[in-house]
Amino acid sequence: MTQSSISSPKLEARDLTREADGKIIVDHVSMKVYSAEVVAVVGPSGAGKSSLLRLLNRLDEPTAGTVYLEGQDYREMAPRELRRRMGMIMQMPYLFSGSVAENIRFGPQQRSEDISDADIERLLERVGLPGFSDRTVDRLSGGEAQRVAIARALANDPEVLLLDEPTSALDEDAKAVVETLLEEIIREEGLTCVWVTHDRAQALRMGDRVAVMEAGRLLRIGSPQEVLNA
C-alpha cells in the first residue's frame, strides 16, 4: 500500500453546508473519516447531526460544499451507486411491510441482483435471527426489527455505514444487544462509520474519534478522551 492510500480518507466532507427555509442547518462542515474508522457525532438536539448524515449520502442536496468518497466527488456518482456503498441505519428501523426476506432482498433487487435464500439466512444468522426469513416485520420486537434493518443494510455490501442514533429507540436490553452486534460487524467488515448518538458513554465506547456539533457547526473533532473531557 502506498503512503497516499494509507492516509487518504475514505469519506471526506468539505465545507458541507445546507440552508433550508432561510436557516443554515449544516454550516461549512469539513471532516475526514478514514477507512475502518468510526467517528461518533454528538451534540444537542437540533445541532444538525441527522441533517449532516442526510447530506453525507446525498439524501439532501448540499447548498454549498461536497463530499468525497474515496477521493471522488459524490456529485459525479449515480445516487443509487452512492447509497449502495453507504448504508444507513436509522433510529426507527427502516423496513416496509412484508416479510423479513422481502426486506433483505430489496436492495440487491434494485440493481437487478438476486440474493439467494442461503445468503439471506447467512445475513440473518449474522444478526442473531436465524430462521426469521418468513416472519412478518410488523410482528417483530424493536430490537429484532433493528437487527433486520442491519441485515438489510449489509445485503448491499456497503463500505460505509451512517448510523443515526441506532439504539436510542430500544429498551435497555435490546440497546446492549444491538450495540454489541453493530460493533462486531463494523470491526469484522472493516466498515467506515459515522455514528450519531446523544449518548456520550456510547460515543466513548464506539468512537475511534468523536466529533461535537452545535448549531450546524463542527465544534471539535478528536480522540474520545480529548473531546469528551474538554
Distance in Å, CB of 104 to ligand ATP, minimum: 27
Map residues 49-68 to x or -, x wherever contact with Mg ion holds by CB under 5 A. Answer: -x------------------
Residues 145-184 that bind Mg ion (CB under 5 A): none
Distance in Å, CB of 181 to ligand ATP, minimum: 22
Given ligand ATP, Mg ion, none, residue 47, with its beta carbon under 5 to 8 Å by kind, binds ligand ATP
Given Mg ion, ligand ATP, none, residue 198, with its beta carbon under 5 to 8 Å by kind, binds ligand ATP
Question: What is the CA 115 to chain-centroid distance, rounded?
Answer: 22
Given ligand ATP, Mg ion, none, residue 2, with its beta carbon under 5 to 8 Å by kind, binds none
Quick one: cell of 212? 461535537
Distance in Å, CB of 113 to ligand ATP, minimum: 33
Q: Are 175 and 205 in contact (CB under 8 A)?
A: no
Closest CB to Mg ion: residue number: 50
In this structure, the strands spanning 72-73 and 64-69 are antiparallel
Distance in Å, CB of 216 to Mg ion, minimum: 13
Binding site for ligand ATP (CB under 6 A): 20-21, 23, 25, 43, 45-51, 198
Nearer to ligand ATP, 103 or 146 (CB): 146
CB atoms within 10 A of CB 73: 12
Q: Are 159 and 86 in contact (CB under 8 A)?
A: yes
Quick one: cell of 90? 436509522
Strands (E) across the chain are located at 11-20, 23-33, 38-42, 64-69, 72-73, 86-89, 160-164, 192-196, 209-214, 217-222
Given ligand ATP, Mg ion, none, residue 20, with its beta carbon under 5 to 8 Å by kind, binds ligand ATP
Phi, psi (deg, nearest 5) at residue 161: -120, 130
Distance in Å, CB of 209 to Mg ion, minimum: 20
Distance in Å, CB of 163 to ligand ATP, minimum: 12
HSE on the CB side for 9, CA within 13 Å? 17
Angle at 96 between CA 160 and CA 185, to 5 degrees: 30
Map residues 33-52 to x or -, x wherever contact with Mg ion holds by CB under 5 A. Answer: -----------------x--
Nearer to ligand ATP, 49 or 105 (CB): 49
Nearer to ligand ATP, 20 or 176 (CB): 20
Angle at 33 between CA 77 and CA 85, to 5 degrees: 35
> Strand, helix or coil at 78?
coil
**Interacting residues with Mg ion (CB under 5 A):** 50
